[in-house]
Amino acid sequence: MAEKIISNDNGDTVVFCGTLVHSTNASPMIILQDQVIGVQKGKIIFVQPKEDLQRVLDQHGLPKGCVKCLTKYQFLMPGLIDTHIHAPQYVYTGTALDLPLLDWLNRYTFPTEAKFSDLEFATYAYNKVVRRTLRCGTTTASYFATIHKESSLRLAEIAADVGQRAFIGKVNADQNSPPNYVETLEQSLADTEWFIEKMKDLKNPLIAPIITPRFAISCSRELMTGLGELAKKHNLRVQSHISENRDEVKTVLELYPDCKNYTDVYDKCGLMTDKTLMAHCIYLDDEEIQTFKDRGSAMSHCACSNFSLRSGVMDCRKMKESGVKLGLGTDVSGGYNPSMFGAIRDTITASNVQSIQHQPDRPYKHLDFREVFQLATLGGSKVLGIDSIVGNFEVGKEFDALLVTMDTEDSPFDIFQTDAYRDSLEDMIQKFLFLGKIILN
Ligand SMILES: [Zn+2]
């Protein structure tokens, strides 16, 4: 399965001829066969049926030599968007899944993240995670780093170097954390301002800072309020966790007894905006979901993590139908799989679990593979507010794409093209989404 990433291509004009698979607002998955897509300076300049090829080449003054034809077992799809991933936790991905969230943080996460005060180690580890996620087809990621400002900046520099679009959060935490991995209120705010300024100095359109309070247990009200002010002052996105685990929700409500619910804690601190993205959202009540809608805040569904730490199963159908912006995240390493193809599969399973739980008294429409594909691409772009730039193959957007080859020798699935049984093109794409390799070449 030789899938190749073609992202943020600033080279010569190129025209691909073949199958395109993407989503629009109206359709979760559109399969466009025999198309030509023109890319100039990294931007999509036309999408037309193949029979119009000569006309569009003439119209744009392009030579025939710039046309690259895909085989009938290849297709282009938008790059995947991981809306929630912890870069430092990648070092223990695939291990340490024996404890529930709050114990897991204390036993594994805080001690590991504390090691990122060492810039050399941070550089080594961040190179690994950025390259790995890119190889998995993640062309955009919203990262949590650690509380350390220099190594958070290093993560940004590494993503910029390899051309991955990335939102980088220097994590904030001034309470309920171990002594070697905690900030004072003043230091946390000052370091965040420093980080924002340094990120601006990078002057890279692919890279942006995102305000990142770890969650309401690790942050004082004063810190969260200060971060809300910083987000407003610099017009920045905000990311955090909400309602992931029952014990977490209980603890938050004990810490903030004047708040009517978990969402209200962030809302009172000015952290629920139309640039806010909250991971998990499993135990939100209807009033909280309404607050998300009212504020224009978005949700990141992290199914692998929710299964792996036995946190719960988010009702993705309900959230989708509420109209809240919704995308998918790997949540490495509560989620053990750094691949968004894994996130697609786990989201389908989570929706199936919801469907089983609703039986037999209430009808429930599970999410199908097309809808989940949409969440992993166009959905993620809306969550991060970059849907005018990437997320599908609309003319004018950046060409941020994966080239998928389905018939390689080492493919983990088989395509049948016999008289007795013949896979349709959609069958092949579905097989790829369920069974294709999660690591690209
Ligand atoms: Zn997380």
Ligand 1 centroid distance, CA of 311 (Å): 12
Ligand 1 centroid distance, CA of 427 (Å): 33
The set of residues, in sequence order, having a beta carbon less than 8 Å from that of 32 and lying 6+ positions away, is 19, 20, 21, 22, 47
Q: Are 96 and 65 in contact (CB under 8 A)?
A: no
Cα 82 to its chain centre, rounded Å, is 2
Ligand 1 centroid distance, CA of 119 (Å): 22
Examine the domain organization and report whether 311 and 230 are in the same domain. Answer: yes
Examine the domain organization and report whether 181 and 217 are in the same domain. Answer: yes
What is the Cα–Cα distance from 280 to 304, expressed in whole angstroms?
11
Examine the domain organization and report whether 51 and 159 are in the same domain. Answer: no
Structural domain contains residue 441? no
Residue (of 228, 220, 132, 145) closest to 177 by Cα position: 220
Can you give the pTM of this predicted structure?
A: 0.97
Structural domain contains residue 121? yes
Q: Which CA distances in Å does 204 have to 131, 165, 327, 381?
A: 18, 10, 24, 18
pLDDT in tens, 251-295: 999 999 999 999 999 999 999 999 999 999 999 999 999 999 999
Examine the domain organization and report whether 266 and 290 are in the same domain. Answer: yes
Residue 57, phi then psi, degrees to nearest 5: -65, -45
What is the Cα–Cα distance from 43 to 13, expressed in whole angstroms?
9
Ligand 1 centroid distance, CA of 395 (Å): 34
Domain count, the chain: 2
DSSP letters along 283-309, please?
A: S--HHHHHHHHHHT-EEEE-HHHHHHT
Query: 93-102 as b/e, with b when 16 or more CB fall inside 10 Å?
Result: beebbeeebb
H-state helical runs in 146-279:
149-162, 185-202, 221-234, 246-255, 262-268
Is the model more confident about 89 or about 410?
A: 89
pLDDT in tens, 317-343: 999 999 999 999 999 999 999 999 999
Ligand 1 centroid distance, CA of 330 (Å): 9
Examine the domain organization and report whether 62 and 141 are in the same domain. Answer: no
Q: Are 305 and 331 in contact (CB under 8 A)?
A: yes
CATH number at residue 114: 3.20.20.140
Structural domain contains residue 440? no
The Cβ of residue 247 has, within 10 Å, a number of other Cβ atoms equal to 14
Taking 60 as the threshold, does the pLDDT of residue 14 lie above it? Answer: yes
Which domain range does residue 335 map to? Answer: 80-383
Structural domain contains residue 330? yes
Examine the domain organization and report whether 405 and 332 are in the same domain. Answer: no
Q: What band does 12 get if pLDDT is binned at 50, 70 and 90? A: confident
Ligand 1 centroid distance, CA of 342 (Å): 16
Examine the domain organization and report whether 207 and 60 are in the same domain. Answer: no
Taking 70 as the threshold, does the pLDDT of residue 346 lie above it? Answer: yes
Examine the domain organization and report whether 370 and 423 are in the same domain. Answer: no
The set of residues, in sequence order, having a beta carbon less than 8 Å from that of 9 and lying 6+ positions away, is 39, 42, 399
Ligand 1 centroid distance, CA of 301 (Å): 10
Q: Are 327 and 336 in contact (CB under 8 A)?
A: no
pLDDT in tens, 125-182: 999 999 999 999 999 999 999 999 999 999 999 999 999 999 999 999 999 999 999 9
